[in-house]
Amino acid sequence: MDANKASSTAYTVMQGLLWASDQPQYAPLVDADISQSIRTFLSASPEGRRRIQQVEGVISTRMLRIFEKLLAPNISVHYALRKKFFLSNVEKLIASGTRQVVNIGAGFDLLAWNLHKKYPDVKFVEIDHPSTSYEKLAIINAVSAPEANLSFLAFDLSEEGLYTALSSQDIIEPNVSTVFICEGVFMYLDEGSVINTFNDIQKFDPKAAFLFTALAPFGSSENNSTWLLRTYLRLKKEPLDWCIEPSAIGAFLTGVSFKCDAILDDDKAYLEYLSRSPETVLHKGEFMVSATSSI
Ligand SMILES: C[S@@+](CC[C@H](N)C(=O)[O-])C[C@H]1O[C@@H](n2cnc3c(N)ncnc32)[C@H](O)[C@@H]1O
């Protein structure tokens, strides 16, 4: 990670989501109010405005599509499917009694910002690397200051673990029904930091729900991204690290005392959220997992 620059991939996710929300065939994945909140958020920073302009310009958006095809085909549709997975599962968990939502490596994701006013009795916490966390907080404060039930913690998870981050301030309470989310982050951490994250979650809530994504290794039949993506991410100082085959995730979870509730790839998510089979080859590589602590 570049210690002095907000995560470029965090901007890329929001840019891809904005693009998908403007495509009639994918619009059902991103509600109009969410699409509007992305636009409002991105409009409040120079890099965000640059990203909006790229999506809106006729030539620049064509170039973005070509670039995406060369690196990771249909990754923007994947972002929209991935966001739908997290939003629908978090809302289901809140409906069944979850009272704390912790987003690890939240980037510029707006789930907590969009939900914290709707659920005033639920605490939302976002953790990210300081370079991204401070930029996000500055934007959020400029747009609409959060209520007391939304907090931001700036931490480098590869240096200080999740438990240290969360216990540094009395923001969330141990042993309260909590869902942890970690979307598009584990692939940037080493295996030790990933395992520590699972262990630290259980210290807070032995019955925690955990929604996360993981990346199938390059070269696997479950990953259709190209080598250019790895090179691009290295240039952006966000090199990839931890990868795992979808078929190995169940055993991995058992090893860290979690139970795998569901695994979703883009083909399944497309069918589930758009009620039709994909018309094109979707992204393969990052997959979504729903798990529960089983200690
Ligand atoms: C691809 S972005 C995903 C952002 C967000 N979760 C989303 O899906 O929209 C990866 C995020 O992981 C964060 N991240 C990567 N390594 C980290 C670390 N060592 N400590 C804290 N955050 C980290 C980055 O700052 C960035 O916000």
Q: For ligand 1, say whether the CB of 193 is within 6 Å of any of its atoms.
A: no
Q: For ligand 1, say whether the CB of 132 is within 6 Å of any of its atoms.
A: yes
For the chain, what is the domain count?
Answer: 1
Q: Is 2 part of a structural domain of the chain?
A: no
Contact 214, 186 (CB under 8 A): yes
Mean pLDDT by 10 residues, the chain (295 residues): 85 97 95 96 97 94 92 96 98 98 98 97 96 96 94 90 86 92 97 96 95 96 93 90 98 98 98 96 97 94
What's the pLDDT at 11? 97
Instruction: Compute, in angstroms, the gap from residue 212 CA to the centroid of ligand 1.
Output: 12
Q: Is 3 part of a structural domain of the chain?
A: no
* Integer Cα distance of 93 and 246 in angstroms: 24
Q: For ligand 1, say whether the CB of 6 is within 6 Å of any of its atoms.
A: no
What's the pLDDT at 158? 85
Contact 102, 110 (CB under 8 A): no
What's the pLDDT at 220? 96
* CA-109 nearest atom, ligand 1: 9
Percent of the chain exceeding pLDDT 90 equals 88
Q: For ligand 1, say whether the CB of 17 is within 6 Å of any of its atoms.
A: no
Mutational pocket test of ligand 1: of 41, 182, 188, 288, the residue with most ligand atoms within 8 Å of the beta carbon: 188
Q: Is 255 part of a structural domain of the chain?
A: yes
What's the pLDDT at 170? 82
**Residue 281 belongs to domain with CATH number:** 3.40.50.150
CA-closest residue to ligand 1 atom 4: 107
What's the pLDDT at 160? 84
* Integer Cα distance of 168 and 246 in angstroms: 34
Helices (H), 96-170: 111-115, 130-143, 162-167
Contact 188, 236 (CB under 8 A): no
Domain range for residue 113?
Answer: 8-293
CB under 8 Å to 185, separation ≥6 — which residues?
104, 105, 157, 212, 213
Q: For ligand 1, say whether the CB of 81 is within 6 Å of any of its atoms.
A: no
Mean pLDDT of the chain: 95
Q: Is 127 part of a structural domain of the chain?
A: yes
Q: Is 1 part of a structural domain of the chain?
A: no
